[in-house]
């Protein structure tokens, strides 16, 4: 039996926008996103690719077309559930009343998402996630990921274009060159400044030089990115202080830009390389800075903390 945990809106946003060559939403065992609201609310709008949970009487039914034992992420949401306190209280009551046949115990009334998750946790191998704040909070932050579409054909999922992942909610996004040149993405995410860590110059941002930092480096272990870490960090800090959202990008968004954002997190939060790396990996599973940049991040850690803390000889890096 799996456990039930809360999932922040940013976590679901990043789950929806993971990609390799194609969006990971094309993988049948990647995400099962379930809407536990009423049929009317679901028809009005829902999170993209979400399917509505069916009920038989008061019982929630697992989706028939999904092998939940193999699904990596199973996420359930209702309108606004934001706490698991009632679930914990009910679980404690059930443990205390185990073996009691009186049938008089009335536990708390649970939200639809929790009720559904309690059914699913007996089927899945991974945790069942409940979207914190439900549809109301998610859709207010990511209105562009709302949909009325109920069925997605494989070719439609193949054509789905992911958004940049979100590293610091509402402030720092990480993407690739295509995303950086897409005006709709800039509008939806309210991007006001850009850090381009690639050799290519983005034609979209040629007008306002104060809002674009271009670090022209190749994705090569021999390239020097370390000398730019301070500049990148200060540029990001300055624009965050102005309330701007920033997109950090490189050609593919997996090496140079990832190293730059890890360096910023280490600088801003006084974090170790290990901790910043773990946060980045949670946001973007495909991050792969080359070995030269990893060594430079280790040097950056030594500058910040006065000592090498993270063992980069670990195969994890």
State how far the Cα of 105 lies from the Cα of 107, in Å rounded to an integer: 6
Residue 120: both structure tokens together? 């699913």
CB proximity list for 14: less than 8 A, separation 6 or greater:
165, 166, 282, 283, 284
Q: What CATH number does domain 165-305 carry, 3.90.190.10, 3.40.50.11540, 3.40.1160.10, 3.40.50.10320?
A: 3.90.190.10
Q: Where do the structural domains in the chain lie, given as residue ranges?
A: 4-158, 165-305
- Higher-pLDDT residue of 309 and 85 is 309
Residue 99: Cβ within 10 Å count: 5
- Nearest CA among 296, 292, 293, 298 for reference residue 312: 298
Q: Are 312 and 294 in contact (CB under 8 A)?
A: yes
- Position 95 scores a pLDDT of 47
- Nearest CA among 176, 248, 218 for reference residue 18: 176
- Position 75 scores a pLDDT of 97
Model-wide pTM > 0.85: yes
- Higher-pLDDT residue of 64 and 164 is 164
Report the pLDDT averaged over residues 239-247: 96
- Do 165-305 and 4-158 fall under one CATH topology? no
Q: Report the percentage of the chain scoring pLDDT > 90.
A: 79
Q: What CATH number does domain 4-158 carry, 3.40.605.10, 3.40.250.10, 3.40.190.10, 1.20.120.1780?
A: 3.40.250.10
State how far the Cα of 103 lies from the Cα of 108, in Å rounded to an integer: 15
Q: Are 9 and 138 in contact (CB under 8 A)?
A: yes
State how far the Cα of 232 lies from the Cα of 298, in Å rounded to an integer: 17
- CB environment 259-285: b (16+ within 10 A), e (fewer): bbbbbbbbbeeebbbbbbbebbeebbe
Confidence of residue 205 (pLDDT cuts 50, 70, 90): low
State how far the Cα of 248 lies from the Cα of 174, in Å rounded to an integer: 5
Parallel/antiparallel/unpaired status of strands 146-147 and 46-47: antiparallel
- Measured CA to CA in angstroms, residue 35 lies from 94, 113, 185 at distances of 27, 8, 25
| Residue 196: DSSP 8-state | E
Report the pLDDT averaged over residues 44-64: 92
């Amino acid at each position: 039996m799996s456990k039930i945990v809360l999932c922040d809106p940013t976590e679901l946003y990043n789950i929806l926008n993971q990609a390799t060559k194609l969006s990971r939403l094309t993988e049948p065992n990647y995400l099962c996103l379930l809407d536990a609201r009423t049929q009317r609310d679901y028809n009005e709008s829902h999170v993209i690719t979400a399917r509505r949970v069916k009920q038989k009487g008061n019982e929630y039914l697992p989706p028939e077309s999904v092998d939940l034992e193999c699904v990596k992420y199973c996420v359930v949401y209702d309108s606004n559930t934001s706490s698991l306190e009632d679930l914990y209280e009910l679980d404690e009551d059930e443990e205390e009343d185990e073996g009691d046949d009186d049938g008089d115990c009335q536990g708390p009334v649970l939200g639809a998402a929790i009720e559904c998750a309690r059914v699913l946790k007996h089927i899945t191998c991974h945790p069942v996630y409940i979207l914190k704040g439900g549809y109301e909070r998610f859709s207010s932050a990511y209105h562009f990921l709302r949909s009325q579409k109920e069925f997605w054909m494989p070719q439609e999922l193949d054509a789905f274009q992911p958004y940049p992942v979100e590293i610091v909610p509402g402030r720092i996004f990480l993407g690739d060159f295509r995303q950086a040149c897409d005006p709709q993405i800039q509008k939806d995410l309210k991007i006001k400044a850009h850090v381009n860590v690639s050799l290519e110059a983005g034609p979209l941002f040629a007008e306002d030089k104060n809002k674009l930092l271009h670090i022209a480096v190749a994705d090569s272990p021999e390239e020097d990115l370390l000398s730019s870490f301070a500049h990148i960090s200060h540029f990001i800090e300055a624009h965050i202080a102005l309330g701007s959202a920033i997109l950090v990008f490189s050609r593919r968004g997996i090496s140079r830009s990832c190293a730059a954002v890890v360096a910023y997190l280490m600088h801003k939060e006084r974090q170790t390389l290990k901790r910043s790396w773990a946060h980045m990996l949670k946001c973007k599973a495909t991050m792969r800075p080359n070995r030269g940049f990893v060594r430079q991040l280790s040097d950056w850690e030594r500058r910040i903390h006065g000592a090498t803390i993270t063992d980069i000889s670990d195969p994890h890096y």
